Structure 1
Amino acid sequence: MTKPIRTLFCGAVLQPFFDLPSAQIPMVLQAAGLLTKTIREMPGVTVIGTMDDDETMVGTSPTGWPWTFYILADVVDRETVISACNLFRTIEVGEHRLWKYIRVEARMGRELAMPEPA
């Protein structure tokens, strides 16, 4: 049996989200809720935890770190990680896709395991 891939999905809220009229913001938030729900329910994905920086980081995320939100998960394989990232391309927000408003990067590795002291 292969070990799962420890994956950190990093999400960045983009400027087009902040340019929306306030009445349209709930559409993006609902789409983001569908995104996280779908990732949690994907076969081969075990979400370990989430974190949202929205209370202490105001405005758009820069390119790269820090991100607005994070989802840490164990994922069965790289193809499943790709499928989760693809949700940003397929979930619709009005006439656009979620990736207009939120950018994602998935960092893949392994669980950090140190040898036990002798």
Structure 2
Amino acid sequence: MTDQPLRTLLCYGNNQNFFDLPRAEIGPVWEATQALLSQLKGLDGLEIIGTFDDDAHMVGPSSGWPWTFYVLADARGQAVVQEACGLLRSVMVGEHALWRYFKVEARMGRELTIRDDVEA
């Protein structure tokens, strides 16, 4: 066991429900997505390292790789990763939870360090 944080990649994918929305109804989903990201940033035990949006080169539903967007973070443990994933259940878009429009999968591991004392 180590005290090192879990390097975590949260992978989010739009599903067909998102693409079935009329253009005028996409705004509330975007606002809810911003709320999700703000809540992630505020989670105790989760430090966001960076984000990556793949929407310029990936269009359409994401049921797996490639995902729509990613959040790379260090997590204190699996419980906070579970809490991060669970935000799709509690962030609302009108009467529906955000998971109506997105799915999330988390990949957890350890930081891969690049050593300076090894020659190429």
Q: Give the Å deviation of 1:113.
A: 2.1
Q: Give the Å deviation of 1:43.
A: 1.0
Quote the residue 1:80 is aligned against: 80
Any idea what SS the aligned residue of 1:26 has?
helix
Any idea what SS the aligned residue of 1:48 has?
strand
TM-score, with structure 1 as normaliser: 0.93
Quote the residue 1:36 is aligned against: 37
Structure 1 stretches (4+) deviating beyond 3 angstroms?
A: none
Q: Give the Å deviation of 1:97.
A: 0.6
In structure 2, give the amino acid aligned to 1:54. D
Quote the residue 1:102 is aligned against: 102
Quote the residue 1:2 is aligned against: 3
Give aligned-pair identity as a percent: 50
CA distance in 2, matches of 1:2, 1:35: 27
Query: Unmatched 5+ residue regions in structure 1?
Result: none
Count of aligned pairs: 117
In structure 2, give the amino acid aligned to 1:51. F
TM-score, with structure 2 as normaliser: 0.92
Deviations 1:50-101 (A, max 9, x none): 000111111111x321100000000111000000000001111111110010
